[in-house]
Chains A and B, each alone.
Chain A
């Protein structure tokens, strides 16, 4: 590795492809509009990509635990955390922090339940989290009955604030991403997650508390989903029962496009941002081109597959 020139090391980075894809899609959009609105498109992209990144981080940690690990309850968790928090706050600014604590706490509990199903009842994660998501979504429906309650004004202002075209929320999420990168690469916890993903049995024999680490990871993922539900409800002017719908596929897509190995044991935090920006800019580009819905969906599929092949091709070459 050390003997390779710098540019070869750069090319070998799995996150590179998601950024390249995002940049070229953005360039294509701007070329089509002849330079109009390039900056504003980027502002919008960073705003909306931030939400994808929040849930993407959690999903990435879970996927890294190894084959079969995935959290499908993210959309339901977002919905429940968002509705609970909005309803408790009921527009009162004094309750913004308790509301946040409630949303996060909601995630902690759901994460623990998810892992309880997986470990105690020996249900595969994909089925355990899918079935728990029905319970969570039904709880949200029962509790909220489709009513959309507005967030406190200060929360809405914070979630939508911009300083010189830079969304404040995105800056916050970038800081969160840096923190999570450190957590993954520089702490015992992060190392343990990677080790379990590479070989769970070996990790266990090496003295890593496998159960505790996996439990913590599912809790982390659900907590981040709760956080995402909270800020998303603040941003969109209230929690709706279908607010999490598109986050199921998106949370997995940003992980995979971002260069994290689906087989586990190899994670990549910086790639999440590239992938999230790419997903938003791709839809924007196809919308701007004015293509029909059918072609748009087909193009989305083809381009995502192409980017994943390109990224995994690099990894093999390494």
Chain B
């Protein structure tokens, strides 16, 4: 049903934007991506491929090629951007290795008259557009949810992401802000799970024996299943674990829900945000007025939407949403 509605909106969007088709049909858009080594990035590239190849065959744009650097390094990506400038792309959609280290290359692209739209890993260079996620709010929402479920409070275990990365600091700041507002909760332990199930499992297994009873585990995505495994291995009761939209997390949740009515929620950004960035770049090339800072909504899964989300998520993949031209229009209007 929901899909149908989205499809209808998309159709409407294409028709409504009919006038735009002529204006960008000769334009070339490139995706500059810094990393491909996990399931989230793979889904991101797949969504890009799926949505942009249709846009190209529909004649909305002339080309939409994806380029990924081998080593997840800013210097390498800066060189890649310089190549894209020389190759004559009209817009570069960018998931950046660093918020600042690419500023020089991004400025060069802007000076060459190229539209730069950064998303997920955004850049600080003012000439570029930014499609960011309010990660702080995401962390805060987790604590708010736990507080609703457990009004009496309790001990929290926090699983953080990769140390030193902007996203990790933001989500964690949101979680701590949420805990400050809900004084009945206390963070009794904090480990780095690097957004990977096996790293999270190892870190939690190490700290768990020294912790008192845990009421809930607040996470950053990609670490919930590993945490659940660690609790099981230690023979401790399973707390409320916030999930991060990975299929193994959702499958585990569904299993627990069927077995004992387990309740939690799952939140993350959809990898399809790359397609939103694509449509935003297209809108800018089309001459539309677009604010420099846009905010993309989270993809949140709750008890009642779990079964449906699990069905549409590929085994071992990540829950995903692909955005349409109309969705992009809505996000742009929302920011104006």
Contact = CB atoms under 8 A, between A and B. Distances in A.
B137 to A, nearest CB: 22
Interface in A224-262: 232, 235-238, 240-243, 245-246
Nearest to A45: B206
Nearest to B232: A160
A32 interface: yes
A37 B210 contact: yes
A148 B247 contact: yes
Tell me the interface secondary structure of chain B in the complex. Answer: helix
Contacts of A29: 210
Interface string A6-37: 00000000000000000000000100110011
Nearest to B212: A36
B42 A40 contact: no
Contacts of A33: 209-210
A283 B194 CA distance: 14
Nearest to A283: B206
Contact of B248 (A148, A245, A287, A293): A148
A68 interface: no
B316 A141 contact: no
Interface residues of B, number: 44
B298 to A, nearest CB: 20
Interface string A179-190: 000000000000
A159 to B, nearest CB: 11
A142 to B, nearest CB: 10
A297 B205 contact: no
Contacts of A287: 189-191, 203, 206-207
B164 interface: yes
B210 A36 contact: yes
B38 A41 contact: no
Contact of A242 (B37, B207, B211): B37
B140 interface: no
Nearest to B191: A287
Interface in B187-214: 189-192, 194, 196-199, 201-203, 205-211
A241 B42 contact: yes
B17 interface: no
Interface of B: 36-43, 46, 70, 160, 163-164, 189-192, 194, 196-199, 201-203, 205-211, 225-226, 229, 233-234, 246-248, 314-317
